[in-house]
């Protein structure tokens, strides 16, 4: 089992920044890829960004490019998502999730952290 705990969400004005954290514990050797997703009210969950524990490859959704940055701290088994230049449409619950490199399915999910951007 893998446990994921997100933190760092909150209320911020448009143009502001937040840094989300996702701490992983448990059988983390099976968590090659860490991803961030978000779900806004009335909308489907969507991919935001992903990173591998090993290597430097990162991937971003188009809306995240240039504004959001995903990073990791292997020693702390923690992944971060820096959110800059936030917009009201970024308001959502942000989830971290993990999968192995041999699967396309994100198997373990955190409980989510709320990000609210006011105009």
Question: Band of the pLDDT at 26, cuts 50, 70, 90?
Answer: confident
Sheet containing strand 78-83, edge to edge, reads: 2-7, 18-26, 78-83, 68-73
pLDDT tens-digit profile of 29-43?
656 899 999 999 999
The two tokens of residue 111 are 């409980």
CA gap 78, 6 in Å, rounded: 9
pLDDT tens-digit profile of 15-25?
999 999 999 99
CA gap 34, 51 in Å, rounded: 5
């Amino acid at each position: 089992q893998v446990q994921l705990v997100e933190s760092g969400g909150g209320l911020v004005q448009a143009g502001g920044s937040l840094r989300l954290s996702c701490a992983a514990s448990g059988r983390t050797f099976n968590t090659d890829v860490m991803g961030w997703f978000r779900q806004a009210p009335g909308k489907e969950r969507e991919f935001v960004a992903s990173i591998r524990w090993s290597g430097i490859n990162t991937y971003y959704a188009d809306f995240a490019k240039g504004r959001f940055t995903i990073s990791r701290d292997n020693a702390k088994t923690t992944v971060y998502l820096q959110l800059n230049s936030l917009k009201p449409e970024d308001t959502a619950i942000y989830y971290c999730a993990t999968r192995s490199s041999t699967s396309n399915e994100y198997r373990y999910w955190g409980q989510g952290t709320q990000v609210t951007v006011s105009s």
